[in-house]
Every structure is written in structure tokens, then in C-alpha cells.
Structure 1
Amino acid sequence: MVRKAVLPVAGFGSRMLPASKSIPKEMLPIVDRPAIEYVVKEAVRAGIKEIILVSHSAKTAIEDYFDSQFELEYQLEAKGKDKLLAEVRDILPKDVSVIAVRQHRALGLGHAVACAAPVVGHDPFAVLLPDVLVDCGDQTEDLAEMVARYQETGCSQIMVEEVPAERVDQYGIVALEGEAPARGHSALMTGVIEKPSVAEAPSRLSVVGRYVLPGEIMDILLHTQPGAGNEIQLTDAIATLMSKSPVEAYSMRGETFDCGNKAGYLQAIFHYAARHPELGAQVRAMMAAEVKATS
């Protein structure tokens, strides 16, 4: 059973400066809660019980957010602010734990994932990039589908979506044995290349930022040499894994928001604010008024 998830949060978030100078980029709010909460709750809804943060000494605010704060809860309870108290206590279910390990040097995503090896052990686990929010609306969530598929077949799952040809050099791009899978389905992979040129790209299916992997990839990562950008790439380890066990590309159904850059972050705010149960109608009216005023 997949019960562990690794979230690499040690990066400095240079694309979000100056806001990320003193606030972890993962703690920047999307409406009324930090971006990291959306990602953690996505993992929890997929059945994850152990969240492993691969963190940095400057990012203890993330760990603190998922801890209880007695003084705050006491004050809210004393003042009869029951709704706010419930929201604060509902950030993390009681049967879910958060563990933090350190990545002392920024040596790539593969290195960050490998830092969690002592906690993951030999268990299968998910990897969620905290920069990427995934909204599946009323459909079954993509990560939950990936976890179910892994537990049914034992095949590793890599979430992918199609990108324009001119952008393939910005992503990990997968090669498939056959046709691209329909949305919500998986297909066997034959390769994956990190940031290929347009001529070298085997497809236009890019790795999104959600993975379900076996514990054995940790041993592979320990022996993976630096690749693109002189960093230890998770995609290189996955390419090695494919020589040992099947890996599938899962075609996502949801919508992604890259909160690691300012435009994607603003897009996420607009999207989640417009769908907010309390603020949605007001926000949609404000957005319409702003468009009219600037057109």
C-alpha cells in the first residue's frame, strides 16, 4: 500500500522573489490558505498517512504550519470562534503525520527525493512537487487514480500532460510503447528524457510533478550521476528503473497551476478564489468588473 509521500520543499523559490526572500514560497497564500496545504490534502485524499518534507533550515514555517498551536486554539475557543477553530484543527487529520528531513545542498530533484530514503525505506511512495497544484473538480483525483493503479498492477506511475512542441525543452518528456493514453489512463513507458531539444523529444508528453514509485528507486538514486543542469535528476533514475520494472505514464484529467512562477501563482489565485464556497460569487463579480474597467 502507498502510504508515504515525499514533498521536496528545500528550494529558495528564486522565481518568486522578492516575496520568497523571508517567506517560503510554499507558504504564499492561495486565497485563505498556503499553497502547500492544497498539495498535502491532495496526498491525504489519495490515502497517504505520512508526509515527508525534504526541507531546509530556512523553511521551518512549513513544519510549524502543520503542527498544533495551543495558544491560538485556546483563544479561538475562548472567544467562541468555533468555525475558525474547526478550520485550524482541520488542516491535517489526526492519523496523518508530518516528518521533516534536511537537504543540505541543492543538487537536484533526484537528490532531494533520495534525502528521504531513511524514512521511506523499502516502501512504495508518492512524490508531489509543491509548486504544482492539481484541480480535478468533481472527478476522481489524478493522484488517487495513480495510487490505485500502482496498488493494482505494481507499475510505477508518472503523471503526464501534453505541451506545445516549442516547450518540450522545459520538461522531462516521456517515450511510450504505443499510443498516448486517454485521460485518466496509463500506458507503458519506454524512456524519459530531461529537457530534450525539439528534435530529440520522443513525444510532447511532459512529466507534471506527481509520481508513484517503488522503494527500490532510492538505491538507484544513490548511484545516479548528475545529468541536465549538472543535477541529480529523478527522470534519469526513472529511466534506469525501467530496465528493472515497468513504468507507466498516467495521462492526467485535471488542471495544473505552476505556483513556482508569478503568472502561474496568480492564475491559481484567480481559479481557487472564483470557486471558493464563501467568496466565489463576490470574486467573480470583482474579476468581471476589473476586466470591464481595463478593456
Structure 2
Amino acid sequence: MAAVGVLATLAVVVPNGSASAATLAGHWAPFTRCPVDDPAMLAADGATSVALCLASHSPSGSIKLGNTSAATGASDLQLGVLSEPGAQSLIAPSGGGIVADPARIPGGLLGLMCPSDVPLVSAICRQATDNSLNNVTATVEPAGAPSGFSVAAGLGAGQPILSLPVKIHLRNPLLGSTCYIGSDATPIVLKPANLTAPASSFERFDANGTPNPANGVLQRITLSGASQGDSTFAAPGATGCGALGLLNPAINLKTGLPSPSGNNSLVLNNATTSLAGFNTPSSVAPNQGKELSTLWHAAVTS
């Protein structure tokens, strides 16, 4: 079993159902939203397919889209991994795998599209002098299924670990509720890579999360100490901003959108990634996925 580090940023996407954040005991602790009850995970037999839990966390980072840069807070990505001969597929929790602190756009609405010589935009810029109307936050939301998962890339540096399609929701009362950069049809496709090779550690543990180096039925691989980044993605223009999208041109002009590959960047500082599953999956065949779900639920403390 091997682990990878993958993260998106800026998000507040809270999954539902079994993917809701839980507190787990011991070495289970990082996997608070593992989609153990997803049908594909439950169907893993431990012989031809193996279900695993993946969690990756970064305490801070930064993102640049066009002419706009923002610092980001803590970010967390959790996914299920279904490993089959020659391939690994990713399974997101219900609602999406990303949970993180929202990012505040520097300068708010005034920085995003003001000043302007367009009368409508100028009128909105005057309203935005009120701080409560000026603040703009950016939230990443899923815009498709993750793909292109590479275990080897997660262990090394400089190679994309996966492809993660997202869209960024710009939130401000004057922008309306449908203001996005990217969409399901034209997403921002992040391909994060380790900027340096991470340090690795290996732990075996019992079903309840207690460390058991000699005989633990479960194992966790942890990669730490490496930042992750991507400067290859393109950023489309804003859509749905203001009534009938009338504010789209002002935002795109001021922020330099759409922005081609090479003009945008994402950095996630000091990422820590963990991957866990059975030490010997075949020992619980043909019910490996179901057994993983049972043990995950038993380890939940709150």
C-alpha cells in the first residue's frame, strides 16, 4: 500500500451522510470523512479490489488566478481509493471531498472590479465602500469527478498526483448567488504535485486505532513535510455575477480572466497525507470493503 498527497484549497464543501466529519480513535484519526459506505467501497472484495481511506491536510497556502492572489487557510481533502490491478480510482464523499477555510479576496469587491467607467459598475462600487458590502470570499466547489490518480507521483516530486476539477464561488451580496469562476462544463482542473519528496512513516494498528507495530490488522502510511503545488491550470472567466451576468466583464477585466496556463498557481504548505487499510486485504476476502466500513464506524468516538 502506498500514499499520496493531494489537496485543493479555499473550500467550504461539507459532505453529508457517512461522509460527515466524525472524530475517530487513534490511528484512524485523520480519516474523518472517508466514504466507507459508498457502494463501490463496500463492494471491494480484498482479492481483486481493495478499498482504502485517503486523507490530506495543509495548514495554509496561497492561490493566484489571473491578476488576483489570496492567502488560504487550512485545507482538507478526503477520498476513498479503490485499488484494482493496474489502476486506482478515487471516490469522493457525498457532497465533495474538499473542506477548508474560505479565502477572503484582498480589497474585496473594490479590488475585484473597481474603479470602472461603466455606470452600473460604478454605482455598485460606490455601494461597496460599506465594509459589509465590500467583503468577498472565495469557495471552491467540486465540478466533476477526480481522476488520473498516481501512487508513484505521491511518493516523489514534480509529477501530478491526480486531476481535480473545481469551480470557485465568489460570495458577496452585490454579486448575487450564482457568481463563479469555472463551472461543471468548464472547470478549473487542478493537478497538484509534491514540490519536494515527502518523508514517510508506516504504522500498524488494531481495529480500534491502538498502535500495534507487530500484529496490527490495519496499516497507515503517512507522508509529511512537503508542500504541494500546481502552476499548469487555466482559469476561465467569471460567469453569473450580478443580475443577468452584467458584472462579469468588470470582474474579468480587473482580475485578468480568463487566464491561460502558466499565469495561475496553487501552493499548499506543509501537506500531510495518510492512507489506511487492511495490512492483508485478502484475509478479509470477499468482504474487505464491508469490513473496512464496520471498523471505521466502530472507531468513531463522536
Q: TM-score, normalised by structure 1?
A: 0.26
Task: Report 1 or 2 for greater relative contact order, CA contacts < 8 Å, sequence distance ≥ 6.
Answer: 2
Q: Higher helix proportion, which one?
A: 1
Higher percent of residues as strand: 2
Structure of higher CA gyration radius: 2
